[in-house]
Chain A
Amino acid sequence: MAAILTSRATAEERTSIPSFASAVETHKAMVYSIAWHFLRDRPLAEELAQDVFLELHRHWKSMKSAEHILFWLRRTAVNRAIDRVRNRKIRAETSLEEISEPTVLEQIHDTYLSAYLERMVASLPEKQRAAIVLRYQEDMEPEEIAGLLKMNVSTVKTQVARGLELLRSKTAHRLRGEGKLG
């Protein structure tokens, strides 16, 4: 009886799995964006995202549910992005210290602030960057990030807090000028 229930549950889980094409369509922006925030190069980010989906295709039979696919894609995208950065020695064009702090007088538009923040995120250390990207791009809780990156929850919280502090200190002048500093 238990075996019947188990097989039925497995069958139900399997039916909740979308088609591969639909999974690509649903998650392409997520995977590409993770790759982009690490590589900051459109062709490289697209290539990495494609590789992640091809790997998903190879592992498609082991996918148990839509949630499993999402978790697998996030983890694989982050890991592949970190590997690519380390292997190809792709570092941010400029380090965090080298990025000049915009002043109030510069009156930069919000779009530029976003671009500036993006550049700064790309210059964070890999694990810190992963934690920040998953927290703010993917809106994930520290517990979820910890599970995905195989880290302690406290480590994730520390990484996010340190990353935020670094980013905040760099943008402090400008945000203060616009009255947006939280």
Chain B
Amino acid sequence: MTPFEAELKRALARREPSEDFSARVLARTQEKKVGQTIAFRLPGRLLTWALAAALLLALGGGVAYQRHERAVRGQTAKRQLLLAMQIAGSKLHYARQQVMQVEGMEIE
């Protein structure tokens, strides 16, 4: 090591922080622990319950919605079937009348 490097080493020697440095670090770790306890335990439980309730609501809502959708689709299909039957009936009636008219004319 050259004299210059020795001088530099002396200049860069470690220096101490303030006396209460360690105490402040430890105090901050305790604050953090307390903070974590409050942040994770109490609201953690509340959060779990809230999530569970939300999940149940979502599931229940989903099932109810599916049932409602199925009922609506059933009603629509029923209406369409009745309409189709009505149309088919009226067409049949019209055709029957036409046939009868033709037959009547032939007899005369």
Contacts and interface: CB of A to CB of B under 8 A. Distances in A.
Interface of A: 20-21, 24-25, 28-30, 32-33, 36-37, 42, 45-46, 49-50, 53-54, 57, 110, 113-115, 117-118, 121, 132-133, 136-137, 139, 164, 167-168, 171, 175, 180-182
Contact of A50 (B2, B9, B15, B28): B28
B21 to A, nearest CB: 5
Interface of B: 1-18, 21-22, 24-26, 28-29, 32
Contacts of A171: 4, 7
Interface of A is mostly: helix
A28 B4 CA distance: 27
A133 B7 CA distance: 13
Top 9 closest pairs, chain A to chain B, by CB = A182-B2, A117-B11, A114-B11, A182-B3, A32-B17, A182-B4, A137-B12, A29-B14, A33-B14
Given A25-B22, A36-B15, A182-B3, A136 B9 contact: yes
Contact of B4 (A32, A33, A121, A181): A181
Contacts of B3: 175, 180-182
13 contacts: A24-B25, A25-B22, A28-B21, A29-B17, A32-B17, A46-B18, A114-B11, A132-B8, A137-B14, A164-B4, A167-B8, A175-B4, A180-B4
